[in-house]
Amino acid sequence: MTIQKTRVRPAAPPVKRRRTPTTNVADVGRPGFIWAAPATLFFGAFAIVPLIMVVVLSFMSWDGIGDPEFTGFDNWRRVFDDPVMIKSIWLSLLLTALGVLLQTPLSIMLGVWAAGNQKNRAVLSAVYFVPLLLSATAVSVVWRALLDPNFGVPAEATWLFGDGNLFGEQATAIGVLAFVSTWQFTPFHTLIYQGAARAIPQVLYQAAEIDGAGRYRQFFHVTLPQLRNAIMTSMILMVVGGLTTFETVLILTQGGPGTDTTISAYYMYEEAFKSFDYGAGATVALVLVLAATAISLIMVRLSGYDKMRSTTEGL
């Protein structure tokens, strides 16, 4: 994500009532904090306060009816003693990794392809973006009906799907989840790469052409390196999105068979809103946020993305 810092300027001189020759015209008519206050207060109340409260609640016990009570590290101990939780962390990581591995190459190829200016590409791109508009709920419901063991496509194409019950085994159930997420989110990442690929200076391709580089060498030696920042942005979004996948699991597999697709975000929901153990749920939520932040930071560090090097250096 392009974090464009507001330009750092020296602090404005104290406002003087009388006009002196030193008053810079650029300093007149600046809006004060009051313009930002309503949105900030609103966001603070409905996003920042809950975020802080999730930390507090992870040290409390609450059943949803009485008042929360302080219980120290009890939730943490219980959550990490639960084999289902440990399993859910691994499943979350597996599903996230699968998502990144499937979606990254696919969306880079589609994005670079869609960045071309041909008319047919524009028309096809318009169709490709449709999944992006649909709610995760709608997408999951449609795929659930389509892959139904008794009345769906697998029941007809048994030569391809075996007994047709893709939800009956862990491997195929995870496959379905990874596939549906890919179906839904690839268009978004394609869009990121399309924007980035359009921004690559044509000069680079002309130079490569003169040096005799063919289409594939141009792709690997010009396009890919130029997409560095976009790849980082898109992968971080995939990691955060993958770790917090919820609707897909709720509608497609309900965490099953057994607990074989119970990823952490779904485990959190079950603990809190099905078992009414909100303290444990808050603990899992906090673990998820910390994991997503840590992984993103590590990725940023490893790739040198934090130095925000421009891809157009030396042009």
**Taking CB under 8 A as the criterion, which residues in 116-175 touch another protein?**
121, 124, 126-138, 141-146, 148, 151-153, 155-156
Q: Which is nearer to another protein, 42 or 73 (CB)?
A: 42
Closest to 92 measured CA to CA, from 282, 248, 290, 243: 243
Instruction: Count the Cβ atoms, other than its own, within 10 Å of residue 47.
Output: 9
Whichever of 140 and 259 has its CB closer to another protein, that residue is 140
CB of 155 to another protein, least distance (A): 8
Does 273 help bind another protein (rule: CB under 8 A)? yes
Distance CA 139, CA 137 (A): 5
Query: Out of 76, 80, 113, 161, which residue is the one contacting another protein (CB under 8 A)?
Result: 113
User: Closer to another protein at the Cβ: 54 or 94?
Assistant: 54
Return the beta strands (E) in the chain as ranges: 60-61, 69-70
Binding segment for another protein (CB under 8 A), chosen from 75-83, 85-93, 160-168, 269-277, is: 269-277
- How many chain residues interact with another protein (CB under 8 A)? 110
Out of 43, 70, 220, 276, the only residue in the binding site for another protein (CB under 8 A) is 43
CB 69 within 8 A of CB 55: no
Distance (Å, whole) CA 313 – CA 307: 13
- Exposed/middle/buried for 11, CB within 10 Å: 0-12, 13-18, 19+? exposed
- With respect to another protein, which residue has the nearer C-beta, 94 or 124? 124
Q: Exactly one of 15, 21, 22, 32 binds another protein (CB under 8 A); which one? A: 32
Q: Report how far residue 107's alpha carbon sits from residue 188's, in angstroms, rounded to the nearest whole number.
A: 8
